[in-house]
Copies of this chain bind each other. A is one copy, B any other.
Amino acid sequence: MGMIGGGIGSFIGDVHRKASSIDGMIELVCGAFSSSAEKSKKSGQELFLPANRCYGSFEEMILEEKKLPEGERMDFVSIVTPNHMHFAPAKMALENGFHVVCDKPMTLTIEEAEALEKLVTETGLIFALTHNYPGNPMVKQARAMVANGDLGAIRKVNVQYHQGWLATAVEKTGQKQASWRVDPTKSGVGGALGDIGTHAENLVEFITGMELSEIAADLGRVGAGRVLDDDGNVLLRFANGAKGTMSFSQIATGEENNLIVRVYGEKGSLEWHQENPNELITRWLDEPKKIYTPNGNNLYPESIAASRIPSGHPEGYLEAFANVYRNFATHLMARLEGKPIQRPDYPTVADGVRGVKFIHAAVKSDKNNAAWVKL
């Protein structure tokens, strides 16, 4: 793995490194951790990387690594930069034969997103988008229950993703996480929308296997002087007729990372809370509420496969994230070994396109007083 972005001190870079290493399948071999060659080298040094594989730019990394013999050079890049720096390195990596792991939202524009999708199709390379929440064992169980018809046809979906870290003007305090996220040149047209709204959108589509057909979005710019949304309330309509709501916010004072999804079907329903991820609450027409737990009783194989340790031993954010990497790596290894490849169990470039379309649809709807916009 060669990392693009994520120098020492970066929250998400560190998460990617830990998550990719937990299962011993992926090794960080090089990086372009910073646009400053010096900083990049320093970051690499703290990560025990050889100096000659710490690059000052992603272009350099891709070109230099390509020159190395197969088996020695990196197999794939992991792009953990701010949003505006996803497209260029992803494109160049694909064009030079490297597989790609890319953070979300995938690109700033729909055109870029579709360009990447086209490239992936043409090159046949593997592309994983790091929506981590589908990596949770209980989310896998939720998806499997819906897919197996346990809930019957889905009728209603509610999702909320509430954080409070932008409740005050932290972007004016020099907090780096905040400053690029409120800046449209770096974040794109969506603020909280792109940062967490896309997680909510992806999670809902992942669990239900249903596509959003149209949305009506009422965005808020609550923090003084913010040009991007920091809050949103959205009506949802799905292709199968199901309806629902989405609420996301980064100004929900005191909330930490409160992502909750509720899915209601004809025969049963389910509820999952990211902050207590080791429970899947299910409700039924004729039975009491049942709580599933990772590696606990009566799970689908997809869920069991996503746990590393026995039931009652909590797993968390890093392990869910690691599952995205593990499934990507498993897929990649099968590819490298010429084995038959199964349906990817990680978000793909297609999910990336969906996410970018969602962002743009929401912004368009909001500009038009929350009128319906098709995805």
Convert A229-269 into 0s and 1s, putting 1 for each residue whose CB lies closer than 8 angstroms to a CB of B: 00101111100000111110101111111100010111111
Q: Which B residue's beta carbon lies closest to that of A165?
A: B310
Give chain A interface residues in 282-299, CB to chain B under 8 Å: 282-293, 296-298
Tell whether, in the assembled complex, residue A266 and residue B316 are in contact, meaning their CB atoms are under 8 Å apart.
no
Tell whether, in the assembled complex, residue A252 and residue B156 are in contact, meaning their CB atoms are under 8 Å apart.
yes
Set B253, B268, B283, B285: member contacting A266, Cβ < 8 A: B253
Tell whether, in the assembled complex, residue A312 and residue B257 are in contact, meaning their CB atoms are under 8 Å apart.
yes
Set B48, B156, B245, B251: member contacting A264, Cβ < 8 A: B251
Tell whether, in the assembled complex, residue A317 and residue B317 are in contact, meaning their CB atoms are under 8 Å apart.
no
**Known interface pairs A231-B243, A245-B247, A290-B289; A256-B312 also in contact (CB < 8 Å):** yes
Cβ contacts under 8 Å, A236 to chain B: 233
Cα A291 to Cα B291 in complex, Å, equals 8
Set B282, B285, B370: member contacting A216, Cβ < 8 A: B370
**Known interface pairs A253-B284, A288-B290; A372-B372 also in contact (CB < 8 Å):** no
**Closest Cβ–Cβ distance, residue A133 to chain B (whole Å):** 11
Q: Which B residue's beta carbon lies closest to that of A371?
A: B371
**Known interface pairs A235-B370, A298-B288, A308-B318; A247-B249 also in contact (CB < 8 Å):** no
Convert A139-151 into 0s and 1s, putting 1 for each residue whose CB lies closer than 8 angstroms to a CB of B: 0000000000001
Tell whether, in the assembled complex, residue A315 and residue B318 are in contact, meaning their CB atoms are under 8 Å apart.
yes
Cα A95 to Cα B166 in complex, Å, equals 55
Cβ contacts under 8 Å, A243 to chain B: 218, 220, 231, 233
Q: Which of A233, A266, A285, A296 has the most CB of B within 10 A?
A: A233
Tell me if A24 is interfacial: C-beta within 8 Å of chain B: yes
A-B contact sample (7 more), CB < 8 A, given A17-B24, A254-B289, A255-B312: A18-B23, A22-B318, A164-B283, A252-B262, A252-B264, A274-B312, A371-B371
The 5 closest A-B pairs by CB, nearest first: A254-B283, A256-B312, A257-B312, A314-B316, A313-B317
